[in-house]
Structure 1
Amino acid sequence: MAKVEIHHLGDTVIQLQAHGVVHARPQVVVHLRVTEFDDLSASPAVMSLRFYLGQLSLLRAVPGIVSLVASNLDAKIRQLCERRLLLLAFQPAVELASGSSLELVIDIGTFLAPGCSAQDSELIDEWMFFRPLQEEELIFVQEYYYAEEESGFGGVPASKSFIQSLRRSPYGRGEGVQEEECVICLEDFDAGAEVSMTPCSHSFHSRCITQWLEKSHLCPICRYHMPTSSSYPQGQPMM
């Protein structure tokens, strides 16, 4: 049975869910859906994170995973969510049998029009509770593997030389930039904002993609493989 909590923070509604799921290998799957409501027309975007546990138990894995996921949230939302999500995730983690998996869903709905009323909040609650995640809403999927030697989760970072080689240019002046927002921070590109394009032709805020590549060599959008310190000079797409 799913554990569900709903919290209100100004014009933002936050819904947290935790429940056991069946997977071929023990893992924790986290879906972070951020939805902007403009006169109650919804514009959602979903980030999915998949943590493969190896021999690590759910109880030992949950605190580190929740902390890592919370680091992707706005400071005020993180302050509210991190402890609540940890407590919410612990109960099914205790109840699930060894080798089971856990799914966490963080739904963040923000009403853009000024003056979100109680009725508006209720409609956002209903939208998030009854509308399942849609495949087309996914922005990117990131995978993490538990590394015993590091006692934590992590991806393989891109090489420092590759990160430094990324060309930086003001938004609107570079060639071939198709995106209108950075999918890492979920903010629109302002005129003149410094952006960088990866070899797979996706653009991000330079500071965002630098921080991302220092943790993972996969493109946040298409999972293209960037060069690592042990790879060949050219990245290659994941099949």
Structure 2
Amino acid sequence: MAVPFLVGNGLFIILVLLGKDLGTTAVLMLIMIATMLVGGIELKKMLLVLVGSGLLATAAALLSPNRLVRLMSWTNRECDDGMDLCHQGLQGLYALASDGWCGVGIGQSRQKWHWIPEAHTDFIFAIIGEELGLIGSLFILALFGLLTVSVHRIALRTTTVFAFCACSVSLMWLVFQAVLNIAMVAGVVPVTAVPLTFVSFGGSSLVISLAAIGVVLAIARDLNRNNRPLST
């Protein structure tokens, strides 16, 4: 069963990669790996998948001049290609560094006015940090923590492999995407085109994320009908 699964998912991953979207490719790889891990794949096959995914992601990053310059800027090297690819990451850090405890106030961000390109998409967390401060940023993190605990409790109550995989993989995907976005804004990882789950502007990302939560809620509803208590 692993071979058809890998072939089907590998095709989608390659198509997205050909579209020059390494961030979404990384998220799709995570979903594939998480599904295989939760599904109980053999360790040897899992290692092969991990090595193959790592080599593919590394080659995609090194063979693209744009991605290579972003990696160089992330490692504090100079962006001397004239494209100024350091600008977005630096301005995001400036926004986070100027927030304080309570920020500058809702709607009062200065960095979103021509300083951070497309501030309503990939770098929305920088604007949240600037306007709402450390308290607002921690509140966003707390919400994702609450989502993690809630979906995990639902997964523990499931009685079928499909339901457990659906809940667990949805949780890993949504939280990983959020963590990757926040880490990108904070400069922990290179700049990638990964939206902040449920927050960044974009209809397709929001619809798919809400659909995943809908599946989890449907599973929870069926469990409640069967009167299965919450795990403690």
Q: TM (normalized to structure 1)?
A: 0.28
Task: Determine which structure has the larger strand proportion and give its number.
Answer: 1
Task: Determine which structure has the larger helix proportion and give its number.
Answer: 2
